[in-house]
A and B are shown apart, each in its own frame.
Chain A
């Protein structure tokens, strides 16, 4: 089974609208979960991480994500999109099942319309 699935390779929202980027993971042991953002020709910047503490995780730039074990999901949200949020977003999982290395999803490109 795919370790990380990001639903939707492209998501388009209007400025000021809710951002919802979906991520489902597969892990038979408790996972660590991450969201990274990548701007063109740049490396990856950590947005937020879940490390078995609070299930609702707040990150930088107003983003947050909720770990739902029953749904094996870790969706990323932001109440109000800004033009500067346009980028590619990657969900990643780390667990003993994957040798404690980060395994990434295929990414979702977020477009913000004015």
Chain B
């Protein structure tokens, strides 16, 4: 297993378009997290899954954002009607059980909305 994979690495889209990102976690990990990171800030929590169940969503996650993990393996994060303020690095991470021993992060997807 090669760690957490995210695709694409970079995405440039026009304002108003929809985008979808994919994350493949470490196969033994049942928890999967999405974070957003803007320039000069630490990662901010968006949502997390335990297996296929989405257990928590941040207030940062507007109605334009939706995440799924249909079979408890990979996850997708979709942003509808993108806005310039959505430009950021979107990080996926996975962990075993409670995650109190740390998360393994992917390399991220950098989104630029023009």
- The answer to whether A41 touches B110, judged by C-beta atoms less than 8 angstroms apart, is yes
- The answer to whether B100 touches A51, judged by C-beta atoms less than 8 angstroms apart, is yes
A106 beta carbon closer than 8 Å to chain B: yes
- Residues of A close to B42: CB separation below 8 A: 4, 90, 92, 104-107
Near B by CB (< 8 A), chain A positions 59-114 give: 90, 92, 94, 99-107
Near B by CB (< 8 A), chain A positions 27-62 give: 32, 34, 36, 41-46, 49, 51
Quote the shortest CB–CB distance from A48 to chain B (angstroms).
9
Q: Is the interface of B mostly helix, strand, loop or mixed?
A: loop
Per a CB cutoff under 8 Å, which of A34, A45, A102, A107 touches B45? A102
- Residues of A close to B33: CB separation below 8 A: 101-102
B98 beta carbon closer than 8 Å to chain A: yes
- Residues of B close to A43: CB separation below 8 A: 4, 6, 91, 105-108
Quote the shortest CB–CB distance from B25 to chain A (angstroms).
13
- Residues of A close to B108: CB separation below 8 A: 41-43
CA distance A99 to B47 in the complex (A): 12
Given known contacts A44-B91, A51-B100, A103 and B45 CB-to-CB distance under 8 angstroms: yes
Quote the shortest CB–CB distance from A12 to chain B (angstroms).
17
Given known contacts A43-B106, A43-B108, A44-B105, A106 and B45 CB-to-CB distance under 8 angstroms: no
Q: List 23 A-B contacts (CB under 8 A).
A: A4-B42, A34-B102, A41-B110, A42-B107, A43-B4, A43-B6, A43-B91, A44-B105, A45-B105, A46-B104, A90-B42, A100-B98, A100-B99, A101-B48, A101-B56, A102-B43, A102-B45, A104-B44, A105-B42, A106-B41, A106-B42, A107-B41, A107-B42
